[in-house]
Structure 1
Amino acid sequence: MTEWLISNQLIDYNNAVEFMEAKIQQIYNNLSDELVWLLQHPPLYTSGIGATDNDIVEKLFPVHKTGRGGKYTYHGPGQRIIYLMLNLKKRNKCDIKLYIRDLANWIINVLKHFNISGEFKEDRIGIWVNNNGVEEKIAAFGIRLRKWVTYHGVALNVSPNLSHYKGIIPCGLKDYGVTSMEKLGVKVSLCELDDILKQEFHKIF
C-alpha cells in the first residue's frame, strides 16, 4: 500500500531529508507503508552528486548538498515537490532506468490533463516542453535509492518565481531554459494538481 502525505506549509529542506531517510529505513524493514509526499520548500538551491562550482552563478539562496542524482536545481514556493519512497524490490522492479521512465510517463500523463505536451529526454533527464520552438524544462528529476527503496523525486514547476533560477545553471544545461505551467498559460491550484497526480500514479505504479 502507498500512503500519501500533503504538507501545506513550507518544509525545511534538511528536515525533509531527515524524514525521508528515517522513512525509507522503516519501509525497507517492513515497518511502514510506502509514501508519496507532496510539499513545497522555501527558496533554496540543491546540488546533486554531479554538481560543479561552475554551475553556481550567484548564491541568491541557501545551497544544500545532497546525495541525489543530478546537478544544481532550485526549489521554492509555487513548485510541487514530489518525494517518492517506494520499495522497488518488493515491486519486482529493481531497474533504475525503468523507474525513471515510469516517473517520466507519470508526469507526462499528468500534464496532458492541462493540455501541456511534455517530453522525456534520455540525455538530459527531466520533462521538457516546446515553448514556441524553444525547449524548456518544466519538471526536474533527482532520485536516490537505498537498498532499492527510493527517495527524493520530482520538482514540477506550477507557478514558481522563475527569476530565482538565475543564480544557477539548472541541471548544468546552460543552453536551455526553464518554464512553468503558469508561464504556459495554465492556472491550476496545487489541490487540483494533487488530485491528478494521485489519479495517474495508480495507472503506472
Structure 2
Amino acid sequence: MKNKKVEFQDWGLLDYQQAWDRQESVFSEIVNQKTENRTQGTEAPTRNYLVFVEHPHVYTLGKSGKPENLLLDEQGLKNKQASYYKINRGGDITYHGPGQIVGYPILDLDNFFTDIHLYLRTLEEAIILTLAAYGIEAGRYPGYTGVWLDADNEKARKICAMGVRCSRWVTMHGFAFNVNADLNYFKNIVPCGIDDKDVTSMERELGHAVDIEEVKLALKQKIAELFGMELI
C-alpha cells in the first residue's frame, strides 16, 4: 500500500551530529518497517518525512570524497568555528551553515517511484522552479548533480549541492541550497571536488538578502507538487 503522506518538520538551527542522529533514527524506523512487512507478509504503510534544517558551520565529506579537498587543518577549523564529519552519503565535500536550507527527504521511494536518478532530478527541478519564482534562471550541469546557474558557459556556478544515501529504496541526506549563506566558507574546500567552478547564493545573485522562511515555503510546495506528496 503506497503512502504519499509526508510529515514536514523544520528542525531550525541544529548541530550537524544531532541532525544526523535524528535522520538515522527515522531512516532505521522506515527500513525496519519494510523488513517487518516482508518477513510477516504484511502491508503496513511506511512513513515519509521531509525535513528542513540549518546547521552551524560544518564541512561534510561523502563516501567517495577525498579528505584533501578540505583545505583546513584542525586549528583552521577551530579558527573558523567549524566542525568536520565524514558521513555515509554519496558525493565529495560540501559546506553547511546558517542561511542555507538543508533538506533531508527521508522517503520510502516505494511510495513514489523506485528510480534514484529520477529522484535526484525531481529534487533539482523543485529548486529550479523555486529560483524561477525569484527571477533566477537555473538549470543542470551535464555530468554533475545539483543546481547550477549559467551551466552552459564559463560562468557556471553552483547554488545547490546534493548528496544522498538510499538503502532498500529509503532515502536520507539530501540537498544544501544557498539562500543567504556565507560563501567565504566555500573557499576552505574544493566544493564537491570541483576545483574550477564557482559557488553562489540567492543573496549574491539578487544583490540582497532573502526571507529564508518564504523560500522554505515555496520550496516545500514545489517538492510536494512534483512528488505528488500530501504534506502533513
TM tier relative to shorter chain: over 0.9
How far is the alpha carbon of 1:160 from its aligned partner? 1.0
Distance 1:85 1:13 in 2: 16
Question: Which residue of the partner structure matches residue 13 of structure 1?
Answer: 16
Letter in 2 for 1:116: I
Matching residue within 121, 146, 166 for 1:101: 121
Query: Structure 2: which 5+ residue stretches go unaligned?
Result: 34-43, 228-232
SS in 2 for 1:134: coil
Contact 1:23–1:32 at 8 Å: present in 2 too? no
Q: Is the 8 A contact 1:48 1:72 kept in 2?
A: yes
- Secondary structure (helix, strand or coil) at the match of 2:217 reads helix
Aligned mate of 2:172, from 148, 151, 156? 151
1:118-197 → structure 2 map (5 Å cutoff): 118-130=138-150, 134-185=155-206, 187-197=209-219
- The alignment status of 1:36 with 2:50, answered yes or no, reads yes
The one-character-per-residue Cα deviations of 1:29-62 (angstroms, maximum 9, x if unpaired) are 1576311111100001000012113312124332
Q: How many residues align?
A: 203
Query: 2: CA distance between counterparts of 1:55 and 1:7?
Result: 29
- Report the Cα distance in structure 2 between the residues aligned to 1:122 and 1:50, rounded to whole angstroms: 19
CA RMSD in angstroms, aligned pairs only: 1.8
| Secondary structure at the counterpart of residue 89 of structure 1 | helix
| Residues 58 and 68 (structure 1), Cα distance of their counterparts in 2 relative to 1, 3 Å cut | same
- Tell me what 2:230 maps to: none
After TM superposition, the structure 1 = structure 2 runs for residues 86-97 of structure 1, keeping only pairs within 5 Å, are 86-91=107-112, 93-97=113-117
> 1:101 and 1:161 mapped to 2: Cα distance?
26
Indicate whether 1:53 and 2:67 are aligned.
yes
Deviates more, 1:121-130 or 1:107-116: 121-130
Q: Would you say the 8 A contact 1:51–1:71 is kept in 2?
A: yes
Whole-Å separation in 2 of the counterparts to 1:127 and 1:36: 19
**Once the 2 structures are TM-superposed, how far is the Cα of residue 133 of structure 1 from its aligned partner?**
5.6
Q: What stretches of structure 1 move > 4 A for 4+ residues in a row? A: none
Letter in 1 for 2:111: K
**Counterpart of 2:136?**
116
Q: Deviation of residue 6 (structure 1)?
A: 1.0
Alpha-carbon distance, 1:13 to partner: 1.0
Structure 1 unaligned runs (5+)?
A: none
TM-score by length of 1: 0.93
- Aligned pairs for 1:49-88 within 5 A: 49-59=63-73, 60=77, 61-88=82-109
2:156 partner amino acid: E
Per the normalisation by structure 2, the TM-score is 0.82
